[in-house]
Structure 1
């Protein structure tokens, strides 16, 4: 793959899965400290994987949502971070953060908030909730409030324990009127099912999208970087249960190695769609663009 794509935020990209189309909708990006975020990695590792690091030495984490369309209907998975900007702080595990592009991305895909019949969330971290809680000036209600907000039951029940990346009370209050909880295996949209996999958070959710000859796993923050495909033992500093999160990574990597299975990694720089393929030193992320 082009090393440039590993270092830049994702642009809008679409895949066809049978009768279903999935489209990545950019909202912004965040810089992640490789040593501060991916625990277990070393400076020597990052000399080897220097092609994943930007000019400031950070991993590039894209932020956005996944639009799922079928038979004229539309579902959104995750809602970006919202219209926020934060500078890098020396020594912090997170560098510069920018957001705000999702409304324009949605419009460019030919959709309005009113077209979205549900917003399904992988988990309760702020970089996945943004536009579900943000109230535009003069609107009186959140940008995506025409739709119910779907959370796995364990995730919503344990919302007070989402960690440092979790929402505060004001965001939870903004979300609550629209929340509907869902269960493992539930079909929430034609061909889209809930698959629970605790570890990153209590009820972290992967969404399995069946497209007939291909299926896609939208695996949220089970993995934060393509480099983890070859190093599932590198856990994210934000993982609530590191052992469970590592088990989830290994499980998802195994699924993505199966024929016809594609993954969506929302933080995977500009290689958000891909599959797991054999590499010289172990499994690697292979971008899929069509």
Structure 2
């Protein structure tokens, strides 16, 4: 049975585009930074060739599982929060020796913000879901042509357990040197804490030791920015498929199952940072009891 709808099939393997929606007084906009081409069997552990043959619509012509990279801009009038900061001004070709990740590139986020009328210096706060490089690239990088970070005026919110065990992030490339570049701007947050009007942090450990999601509420709806609790729309249908980078695979699986159930509620929208060009959506139940990701913007 297909895991996608006719509406979104062509967008699953497309490079991400700017997408926006309104929640009451809050304007929510996805701002692309780049793209990662994942090797499906190495990236989503436990999957087989037969699994991907049955879900070929999720793969591009080269057999890669495209993963969008970007940030989520939350605006309330003149105020602005950014959830995650993309990969930053780096680019790497496919390494055949890497079983999980093909080519990856970033760098478009700052120009995207400016096209939306937001100078990076106007962002008052940055919320990081977890300490992997494709979520904090522009937090530690300097803006090209300058010697200053683009979000130097922003408080950087990070879940307290994630920051307390930031030593674990070094394995994924977030070295002590890179973290030191924005450490003075970090403020740790606790589970359930409001960090911006209508935006609350929730601990959702599993992918990393202190992974966080951010729930945005407005206009009688809520949007769950779930970071890397899921990496691809196919995991809405198969939450048992984990990611090779999951710190605690069993807990990460339970988090995905709970998340899919939440995303099936009529008042709830999900934001999947890596979900190709279908980053906003809901989980719709199928006749077989599983769910399908249905885009809403």
TM class, shorter-length: over 0.9
CA separation of 1:210 and 1:116: change in aligned 2, threshold 3 A: same
Aligned 1:66-145 pairs, distance under 5 A: 66-92=72-98, 93-137=100-144, 139-145=146-152
Describe how 1:211-226 pairs up with structure 2 within 5 A. 211-226=218-233
1:193 has 2:221 as partner: no
Provide the residue aligned with 1:284 in structure 2.
Answer: 292
Residue 91 (structure 1) shift: 4.7
Where does residue 174 of structure 1 map in the other structure? 181
TM (norm. structure 1) is 0.97
1:140-164 deviation per Cα after TM superposition (whole angstroms, max 9, x unaligned):
3211111011100000000001263
Match of 1:244 in 2: 251
- What are the ranges of 5 or more consecutive residues in structure 1 without an aligned counterpart? none
Q: Distance in 2 between matches of 1:188 and 1:106?
A: 21
Distance verdict in 2 for CA 1:163–1:172, change over 3 Å:
closer
For residues 174-227 of structure 1, the C-alpha deviation after alignment (integer angstroms, 9 at most, x for no partner) is 021111101111100000000101000111000000013211000000000000
Instruction: Return closer, same or farther for 1:226/1:163 CA change in 2, 3 Å cut-off.
Output: farther
Decide whether the 8 Å contact of 1:81 with 1:128 is kept in 2: yes
Q: What is the TM-score of this pair, normalised by structure 2? A: 0.95
Aligned Cα root-mean-square deviation (Å): 1.1
Cα deviation for residue 3 of structure 1 reads 1.9
Count of matched residue positions in the alignment of Structure 1 and Structure 2? 289
Distance in 1 (CA, whole Å) between partners of 2:172 and 2:41 is 18
Alpha-carbon distance in structure 2 between the residues aligned to 1:169 and 1:152: 17
Q: Deviations for 1:246-281, whole angstroms, at most 9, x for unmatched residues? A: 111111111101111000000000000000001244
Q: Deviations over 1:23-47 (max 9, x none)?
A: 0000000001110010111110100
Q: Which structure 1 residue ranges, 4+ long, deviate > 3 Å from structure 2?
A: none
CA distance in 2, matches of 1:3, 1:9: 13
